[in-house]
A and B are shown apart, each in its own frame.
Chain A
């Protein structure tokens, strides 16, 4: 079975500081990994994905994520956070042996204070 863990329910940072949202995963085969963001009263928006290749993936709005196979992690990062980055962030994984199913983490609420 595949699963995703986001160990932090909430992350609070000051504007201009680095932002990291943690994600670890468990799959039986090779993973496809995704990050989505949900702004209040909106649906989920795709940020970035790791399929294969370079372990550092760059996505929308200045976000990036690093795939670490040995640690089974896919942490989301932004060098300088903005107040507008305040939102709910979800990590998701697909197992290549069962790639119809997308499993989500519980989500991490990010608050960036001015």
Chain B
């Protein structure tokens, strides 16, 4: 089954404790992206990647890191999480970087930072 998977689905952590949220797609997509969803703000893009070893900042990159060492994986790293990073996070992928393609979304990761 073609899908985007994220782990963990739920995470509660404390301020400053480094964490990684994994994202993997099995569709051989070139483009991958991370979003955060907050009430009243919709989805805001954190980082995106146009291919292996090619990443760029989205609208809200502060406090996050990403890497794209393999085509299928695009982990999101929070080096020192803070309470304002409590949010619902989505990973997405699409076949190519051009704009005609819709994105396929993972199930989401709900992160709480205390």
Interface residues of A (CB under 8 A from B): 4, 6, 9, 32, 34, 36, 41-46, 49, 51, 90, 92, 94-96, 99-107
Report the separation of the CA atoms of residues A42 and B109 in the bound assembly, to the nearest whole angstrom. Answer: 10
Report the separation of the CA atoms of residues A6 and B40 in the bound assembly, to the nearest whole angstrom. Answer: 10
Report the separation of the CA atoms of residues A15 and B45 in the bound assembly, to the nearest whole angstrom. Answer: 34
Contacts of A44 in B (CB 8 A): 43, 90, 92, 103, 105
| Nearest CB in chain A to that of B110: its residue | A41
Number of interface residues of B (CB under 8 A): 27
Cβ-defined contact, B103 with A94, below 8 A: no
Cβ-defined contact, A96 with B41, below 8 A: no
Cβ-defined contact, B99 with A94, below 8 A: yes
Main secondary structure of the interface of B (DSSP, over half): strand
Report the separation of the CA atoms of residues A43 and B92 in the bound assembly, to the nearest whole angstrom. Answer: 9
Please give the distance in Å from A6's CB to the nearest CB on chain B. 8
A-B contacts counted at CB < 8 A amount to 59
Main secondary structure of the interface of A (DSSP, over half): strand
Please give the distance in Å from A70's CB to the nearest CB on chain B. 22
Contacts of B99 in A (CB 8 A): 32, 94-96, 99-100
In the assembled complex, B95 has its CB within 8 A of some CB on chain A: no
Report the separation of the CA atoms of residues A9 and B41 in the bound assembly, to the nearest whole angstrom. Answer: 11
